[in-house]
Amino acid sequence: MRVRPSPVSPPDGTLAAALERLRRLVEGRLDQLTSCPDPADTLAQAQRQAILGGGKLMRPVFLLLVAEALGRKGHPPVDVACAIEMVHAASLVLDDLPCMDDAATRRGRPALHRLWGEATAILAAFSVLARATEVLREGLVAAGVAQVHREALSGRLAQVVETLCRGQLLDLALGPSDAALERLEAIHAQKTGALFVLAAELGAACAGIWGREREALLAYARNLGLAFQVTDDLLDVTAPADRTGKPQGRDAALGRTTFVSVFGLEGAQALCDDLIAAARAAVASLGPAAALLSAFAEHVRTRTA
């Protein structure tokens, strides 16, 4: 079944302003959380570099956007969002290790293990994961989420970390000639998709949304997460290095299997369009939240970096 995009969307300026505002919130809070006055504290410095690596902060911003769109009152759950970003950052550090993707750079900068050595990078990743758990727990308390749900959501964070590990393992096993869509989807559902879905869950919880609306939101996040990965693959082919922070065509140069390598540019774009349309349709019936979330989906589809 194919679903068509919802015609409802707010002016681009509204979304862009919201994203920028939320991104600054997250960035500022991450800066606070990772502040380290002692330059000799190697682990803390490595943590800070891992977390404040100049990323787009798409996942935490998405979480805050969900909470806001669903009508959360009061201060945004920034700590909860930061926890998501910390998990993401830790996963990137591990992904870049020589035993895995062996990436030299990340976001236009040397990869963490190139700066601090593999051991420090690994330890930094694990300590950031542990820190994320703590930040999440405190963030959920601050956000006023009931204890019963806090326990469940903390459990979900642990599940997602395990899912990320499984996704990475699958990714490592995916050879250049292995073009099976099933594998590709499974990998990204367990990596990019899992974090998007968790962000949506946390955002909904912070807004006090449960039941049917939450189910619709999770469907939105699932489609959006995979679409985000498809656009990543597309941008690797189409966007210049100064926008993405990595050399254009790097995936192809490394012989990686991507949605573009499997379906071609047009095919990948068509899949991305389908996924975005499905995401927008999923939230079309959520009332006032639909416009902002739909616009965010469109933003993911049309992003250039």
Partner 1 sequence: MSARARPSDDLARARRHLERRGYLHGGLPPAPPAAWRQITFVLALWAALSATLVGGALARTGASWAQVKVVALAVAPPLLVLFLTALLAGRAVALRLLAWGVTPQRVAAVLGGAAALLTLGGSAGILWDGLGSAEAALRVGVAAVGCAMIAGVAARRALGREFGGEQENLRAPPWRVEVLLLLAITGVGAASAVLPPAPPPGPAAAVPLATPAAAGRVAVVGVEGLSRGGLEALPAVFPADDWKEIAQWGWVEIRGAAAALPAVAWTSVACGAPPAKHGVQVMEEVRLFGGSDGIVLPATLQRLVVMIWSPLSAARVAARPSLDRRLPTFWEMASRAGCPVLVGGWWGSWPVRQVLGEVVSERAWLGGATGPDAVSPALAGAVAAAWQQGRQAPAATDLLAEELVRRAAARQGASLLALWLPAIDLATRLGGGPETLTVAAGLKPHLKLLRVLLQQLADSGYTIWLLGMPPGGGEPFAASRSVLLRGGEGSASTAELVAVWLAQLGLPPAAGGALPRPELGGTQVVAAAVEYGAPPPPVIRPSAASATVQREVLRSLGYLR
CA gap 192, 204 in Å, rounded: 19
Pairing of strands 105-106, 109-110: antiparallel
Does the footprint of partner 1 cover residue 174 (CB under 8 A)? no
CA distances, 265 to each of 65, 171, 261, 273 (Å): 30, 21, 8, 12
Does the footprint of partner 1 cover residue 252 (CB under 8 A)? yes
Shortest reach from residue 293's CB to partner 1, in Å: 12
Does the footprint of partner 1 cover residue 181 (CB under 8 A)? yes
Paired with 226 in beta bridges are none
CA gap 265, 167 in Å, rounded: 24
Shortest reach from residue 269's CB to partner 1, in Å: 10
| Sole binder of partner 1 in the list 44, 105, 185, 245 (CB under 8 A) | 185
Give the chain's largest Cα–Cα span. 57
| Sole binder of partner 1 in the list 146, 169, 172, 241 (CB under 8 A) | 146
Does the footprint of partner 1 cover residue 177 (CB under 8 A)? no
Does the footprint of partner 1 cover residue 260 (CB under 8 A)? yes
Which is closer to partner 1, CB of 53 or CB of 139?
139
Name the packing angle between helices 288-302 and 259-282 (round to 10°).
Answer: 170
Which is closer to partner 1, CB of 121 or CB of 184?
184
Does the footprint of partner 1 cover residue 240 (CB under 8 A)? no
Shortest reach from residue 26's CB to partner 1, in Å: 25
| Count of residues of this chain found to bind partner 1 when the rule CB under 8 A is applied | 51
Shortest reach from residue 232's CB to partner 1, in Å: 15
CA gap 240, 236 in Å, rounded: 8
Does the footprint of partner 1 cover residue 3 (CB under 8 A)? yes
Does the footprint of partner 1 cover residue 112 (CB under 8 A)? no
Does the footprint of partner 1 cover residue 215 (CB under 8 A)? yes
Hey, what are 109's tokens? 């900068």
- One-letter amino acid of 58: M
Picking from 196, 75, 61, 83, the residue whose alpha carbon sits closest to that of residue 138 is 83
Is 299 exposed, middle or buried, given 0-12, 13-18 or 19+ CB atoms closer than 10 A? Answer: middle
Q: Which residues form the interface with partner 1 (CB under 8 A)?
A: 1-3, 146-148, 151-152, 156, 181-182, 185, 189, 210-216, 219-220, 222-223, 226, 237-238, 248-249, 252, 260-268, 270-271, 274-275, 278-279, 281-286
